[in-house]
Structure 1
Amino acid sequence: MILIVDDRPENLISLQKVLQAHNFEVDTASSGEKALKKVLKNNYVLIILDVQMPDMDGFEVAEAISGFSKAKDTAIIFLSAVNTELKFITKGYQSGGLDYITKPVDINVLLLKIKTFYRIYEQNRKLNEVQEKLLEEIEFRKQAEHKKDEFISIASHELKTPLTSVKGYIQLLQRSIDKEDKEKAKSHLAKAGIQIEKLNSLIVDLLDISKIESGKLKFNMQDFCANSMVDNAVEMLQQANPDFKIIKKGTTNENVFGDEMRLEQVVINFITNAIKYAPGTNEVIVNIKITNDQLYVGVKDFGIGVSLAQQEKIFEKFYRVEENSNHFNGLGIGLFICSEIIARHNGKIGINSALNEGSEFYFTIPLKEINS
């Protein structure tokens, strides 16, 4: 729900009608004092706060709200028709606002910002739910306390990074719009979208691992073309990484029984890791073949490689190679999820590697259904 705070009824009504027309749930307050009372009683995703109000201005209201624990995740957007100087904009951010918009308001820009904040709020809400489940899982089933602490620290850092970037790009977007620089505005919006996708990808991994632990990870098993599945993964990642050569070797006309989407997820993870952990190189090879009624898919890079000791642990949950953890981001759960997916297909996952000589991650699964 959105709370609009403005002492002018005509402003409240007009903005309320616009937001409700776009299916937002809206509440209003005609003064800072009334707004604070409502914040204590209700949960709001976003507060749109007028700066110029009698008795208690928007800055004072924002500072008071920042002290409310239940409003710690609530975003605040300032609106101002008079205080448009840099010192007032700076004060708005210092008071706890995430954005400062000057009037007259471009309603399309405002709607864009509101939708972005809603997406971030929803992702944070899902993240909090997943983190709670993960903490329970780690507390009851895993005895390694230091791993729990390390994972929470990594997760917080990894999730905060794209979120911080999104906030920054939104601010740059506003400046570009104010300057009527449409090209830069489009660029900032596109970059914000990329960061949101990164955040979403991390959350999807967290949700997957939660489902694995609770036995609720669903599979849609049916016959499909393995060759097309690999082609789709290669094509998608080639478009996303135009400077890298992703070379597919081998082909097959055989159908495979399994969950096409989940197996494509494994191939995408292998290729993504191959690109990430091979700095200074520009080539990845994807091998596909059929041997003894088994599908083999392997992804070879020419990067840093993995030692024998590390190979024994690399598919474990939360495992991250120590000497690489400070150079490469990640939660340490992607390969664990891959191993669980392949296990559900009665297959085998593995790695062939040597330090400084590259790695080939691979999996094999039977072509036909096997009763577990």
Structure 2
Amino acid sequence: MPTAARPRILVVDDRDDTLFAMESALAPLGYPVDRAATGDDALKAVLRGGIGLVLLDVLMPDVSGFEVAHYMARLEQTQDIPIMMITGAGQDTALAAKAFELGVADYVVKPVEPWVMRTKVRYLYETSLRMHALRERLRAYENGNGDNSAPPAHAAPPQPLPRPA
């Protein structure tokens, strides 16, 4: 039986330097990472499937991060993918409130310390994998499949999060 590929983290930002910095910060985690430079490309990527977490810039020139989050929340296929919105617009409670109203999992203001980014991403990604595994087990149970005790191949064993130094 083929093993399922681990879901990818989608990093979305209209600036190449920011994409590179976020990918570099996440590299020590060893998770598969994809990138998108526009909101439109981000929507295409999540609709293709295989995304377990989206790191989404708030302000982009074509389709904003808010529009991407709104669209993802409306579709059954994408509504359970956690979103971490990241902004360079500074502390703005109205933007943060709007993000959380859309159901995002986290809202972060740039610049973000790399260890903070890794800690938040690891938590959201691993939680997403566990939720996916539970959904698969529930689906197998509802379909009457006999052996539903094993999680999918891409589900990582639970591990405690490291404490920051």
How high is the TM-score relative to the length of structure 2? 0.77
2:161 is aligned to: none
Aligned-partner Cα distance in 1 for 2:73–2:46: 11
Of 19, 22, 26, which aligns to 1:12?
19
8 and 135 in structure 1: CA distance in 2 versus 1, 3 angstrom threshold: same
1:105 is aligned to: 112
* One-letter amino acid matched to 1:21: P
Of 4, 10, 28, which aligns to 1:21?
28
10 and 67 in structure 1: CA distance in 2 versus 1, 3 angstrom threshold: same
Aligned-partner Cα distance in 2 for 1:83–1:61: 20
Aligned-partner Cα distance in 2 for 1:114–1:16: 12
Aligned-partner Cα distance in 2 for 1:89–1:120: 22
Runs of at least 5 residues in structure 1 that lack an aligned partner in the other structure: 141-205, 209-372
207 and 87 in structure 1: CA distance in 2 versus 1, 3 angstrom threshold: same
Secondary structure of the structure 2 residue equivalent to 1:125: helix
1:89 is aligned to: 96
42 and 130 in structure 1: CA distance in 2 versus 1, 3 angstrom threshold: closer
Aligned-partner Cα distance in 1 for 2:143–2:72: 31
Secondary structure of the structure 1 residue equivalent to 2:34: strand
Secondary structure of the structure 2 residue equivalent to 1:78: strand
Secondary structure of the structure 1 residue equivalent to 2:103: coil
Secondary structure of the structure 1 residue equivalent to 2:56: strand
Secondary structure of the structure 2 residue equivalent to 1:45: strand
C-alpha contact 1:32 1:57 (8 A) present in aligned 2: yes
RMSD between superposed Cα atoms in Å: 2.1
Aligned-partner Cα distance in 2 for 1:115–1:14: 17
C-alpha contact 1:5 1:30 (8 A) present in aligned 2: yes
* One-letter amino acid matched to 1:129: E
1:67 is aligned to: 74
Question: 2:141 aligned with 1:134, yes or no?
Answer: yes
2:149 is aligned to: 207
**Structure (1 or 2) with the greater helix fraction:** 1
Aligned-partner Cα distance in 1 for 2:120–2:16: 23
Question: 2:87 aligned with 1:80, yes or no?
Answer: yes
Misfit runs of 4+, over 6 Å: none
* One-letter amino acid matched to 1:120: T
* One-letter amino acid matched to 1:117: L
C-alpha contact 1:47 1:75 (8 A) present in aligned 2: yes
Question: 2:105 aligned with 1:119, yes or no?
Answer: no
Matches within 5 A, 1:1-372: 1-137=8-144, 207=149
Larger Rg: 1
How high is the TM-score relative to the length of structure 1? 0.36
Q: How far apart are 1:79 and its partner, in Å?
A: 0.6
Aligned-partner Cα distance in 2 for 1:39–1:136: 26
Taking every aligned residue pair, what percent have the same amino acid on both sides? 30
Deviations 1:97-155 (A, max 9, x none): 111001110221221111111221222122122223332449x9xxxxxxxxxxxxxxx
Secondary structure of the structure 2 residue equivalent to 1:69: coil
Q: How far apart are 1:76 and its partner, in Å?
A: 0.3
Deviations 1:181-209 (A, max 9, x none): xxxxxxxxxxxxxxxxxxxxxxxxx839x
Aligned-partner Cα distance in 1 for 2:30–2:82: 19
* One-letter amino acid matched to 2:74: G
Q: How far apart are 1:55 and its partner, in Å?
A: 2.3
Q: How far apart are 1:70 and its partner, in Å?
A: 1.6
Secondary structure of the structure 2 residue equivalent to 1:90: helix
